Amino acid sequence: MKKLLLVLLTFSLVAILHAATATVNGIEWTYEVSNGEAQLFDRFSPVISTSTSGVITIPSTLGGLPVTSIGFHAFRNCSNLTSVRIPSSVRSIEEDAFYGCSGLTSVMIPQGVTFIGNEAFYNCSGLTAITIPSSVTSIGISAFSGCSGLTSVTIPSSVTLLGGSVFSGVSPTTLTAAWLPSGMSASK
């Protein structure tokens, strides 16, 4: 009986969440499907080859499903990326999503993203400017820590949760409290 229950549970989980791949514009993407949506995610490696370089546009759909999340470690250590365009279908940028993308100089975060996770852009040292859209309400711990090239940050007043050490490792001469909503501060 326990064995049958374990088999049924396994099949249920596979039906709810399963990995898939799709090639769009010459890039093979790994994603998981959950509740009729695609999340850029792979348990064991980045969702694209770490040798992918230059400017990429994340597809708005994969397998006919909307891409709604850039998952944990999605682009971890893809240091050859220089620019990423995120589609308006994305609602969250999860923990460590762009961790270690040191060549990244530009990211376009669209209106509709509500959450930027812990260390989402950790050590993206080439990133020089970031504009957070007014739809974002939460920015996690150390989200931009180690982004030593940042000279311009725009954080809207919609952000009600700002994690500690958000800008740790960023030169104090490039960050000022004026970039933060009234009454908020970021730990360095």
Any domain includes 185: no
> What is the predicted pLDDT for the residue at 147?
94
> What is the predicted pLDDT for the residue at 44?
78
Residue 22 pLDDT exceeds 80: yes
- Residue 136, domain extent: 2-179
Model confidence pLDDT, tens digit, residues 56-87: 999 999 999 999 999 999 999 999 999 999 99
Q: In the chain, what percentage of residues exceed pLDDT 90? A: 66
Q: Which residues are registered as beta bridge partners of 152?
A: 129
Residue 9 pLDDT exceeds 80: no
Any domain includes 165: yes
Any domain includes 81: yes
Please report, for the domain that includes residue 143, its CATH number: 3.80.10.10
**pTM of the model as a whole:** 0.84
Question: Which of the four pLDDT bands, split at 50, 70 and 90, describes residue 15?
Answer: very low
Residue 48 pLDDT exceeds 80: yes
| Long-range contacts of 175-180, Cβ-Cβ distance < 8 Å, separation of 24 or more | 175/150, 179/153, 179/154, 179/155, 180/155
Any domain includes 188: no
Q: How many domains does the chain have?
A: 1
Contact 134, 156 (CB under 8 A): yes
